[in-house]
Amino acid sequence: MLAGAALGYAAALRLFPAVFALGPFIGLLYAVYKRQYDLKVAYGKFFGGMVISVAVLAASATAVYGVAAGKEFFENSKRHSESVSANNVGLRNVLAHNFNRNKNFETYGNDSVWHTATVEARKKVVPIYVAVVVIALFFFIPAVISGGTWQAIALGALFTPFMWSELSGYYYLFLMIVGALFAVNWKVAFPLLCLGIVTKIGLVVGMRMSEFYFLFSAAICIVALIIYWQVNSLPLFWKQALSSLTTKKT
């Protein structure tokens, strides 16, 4: 419950940490489906703490700053989500980079022109983005089900680069949370180590800002899929799921 309250607090401040709860949500659905009482209680407490935390913070902020403050918060968050920045990290950055002929804002000499070109590139990649996210879910869901409750939170955090809204690079300090998965699977250390090495090489060779964050975005997406595969202890999960459905029909 305290974990849920802490995450609720973080989500109320910056919104994006709410994606961390995607892992526990998948875990809760599976626990309900499999009638796993202990897990249902654990996840229920987690989301109960999250709801209480957000409700208390929202009520307190409204009481102190008024109803208008909430509206301003969401409008500011929307502007941030729609903003185009060279240091954004995420799947959209990778895809839009490939659709943008001049690929970095330094070649334009005009920020507004680069901004327009990037927005247009983002529109073109929507179908590809959706397809990649679906593929990521096929890795993500079995990994969550294979692990425990706190692992589900760490794996949920690792889904951040697949969000539609991109984050500035410094927010990726949350990878420290993902590093905790080393406690249950030592192989997780190698993808994270490779991520550090690749990005460090990018800095050493003096890559331009937009090129470096493209590298970072591509690397973190690949590392996320590798870690989902490493943590997953049910490699035949989807085969088992399909066979169970077939059995029920017969």
Query: Mean pLDDT across the stretch 130-147?
Result: 92
Query: Dihedral angle at the C-alpha atoms of 22, 74, 91, 129, nearest 10 degrees?
Result: 80
Angle at 20 (CA atoms; ends 182, 130), nearest 5 degrees: 105
Within this chain, do residues 120 and 204 fall inside the same structural domain, yes or no? yes
In this predicted structure, the answer to whether residue 227 has a pLDDT above a threshold of 90 is yes
Query: Mean pLDDT across the stretch 44-60?
Result: 94
Q: Which of 49-58, 107-116, 178-187, 225-234 has the highest mean pLDDT?
A: 49-58
Within this chain, do residues 109 and 3 fall inside the same structural domain, yes or no? no
Within this chain, do residues 72 and 103 fall inside the same structural domain, yes or no? no
In residues, how long is the chain? 250
Q: Which of 60-64, 83-87, 176-180 has the lowest mean pLDDT?
A: 83-87
Query: Mean pLDDT across the stretch 199-227?
Result: 89
Q: Domain end: 19, 49, 82, which one?
A: 82
Distance CA(150)–CA(87), nearest Å, equals: 30
- Closest-CA residue to 97 (of 120, 80, 130, 131): 120
Distance CA(194)–CA(175), nearest Å, equals: 13
Q: Are 122 and 115 in contact (CB under 8 A)?
A: no
- What band does 108 get if pLDDT is binned at 50, 70 and 90? very low
In this predicted structure, the answer to whether residue 241 has a pLDDT above a threshold of 60 is no
Q: pLDDT averaged over the chain?
A: 85
Within this chain, do residues 204 and 118 fall inside the same structural domain, yes or no? yes
Q: Are 223 and 195 in contact (CB under 8 A)?
A: yes
> CB atoms < 10 A from the CB of 211, how many?
17
Name the residue with higher pLDDT: 25 or 109. 25
Q: Domain end: 54, 82, 110, which one?
A: 82
Within this chain, do residues 100 and 213 fall inside the same structural domain, yes or no? yes
Within this chain, do residues 111 and 76 fall inside the same structural domain, yes or no? no
Question: What's the domain count of the chain?
Answer: 2
Within this chain, do residues 35 and 100 fall inside the same structural domain, yes or no? no
Q: Which of 53-67, 97-111, 143-157, 186-200 has the lowest mean pLDDT?
A: 97-111
Within this chain, do residues 33 and 121 fall inside the same structural domain, yes or no? no
Distance CA(84)–CA(105), nearest Å, equals: 11
Name the residue with higher pLDDT: 6 or 231. 6
Within this chain, do residues 17 and 103 fall inside the same structural domain, yes or no? no
What are the distances in angstroms from CA 249 to CA 29, 169, 236? 22, 48, 20
Q: What local confidence, expressed as pLDDT, does residue 97 receive? A: 78
In this predicted structure, the answer to whether residue 180 has a pLDDT above a threshold of 60 is yes
Within this chain, do residues 118 and 178 fall inside the same structural domain, yes or no? yes
- Domain range for 33 is 1-82
Q: Domain end: 66, 82, 98, which one?
A: 82
Q: Are 155 and 241 in contact (CB under 8 A)?
A: no
Within this chain, do residues 116 and 71 fall inside the same structural domain, yes or no? no
Within this chain, do residues 93 and 214 fall inside the same structural domain, yes or no? yes
Q: What local confidence, expressed as pLDDT, does residue 195 receive? A: 93
In this predicted structure, the answer to whether residue 206 has a pLDDT above a threshold of 60 is yes
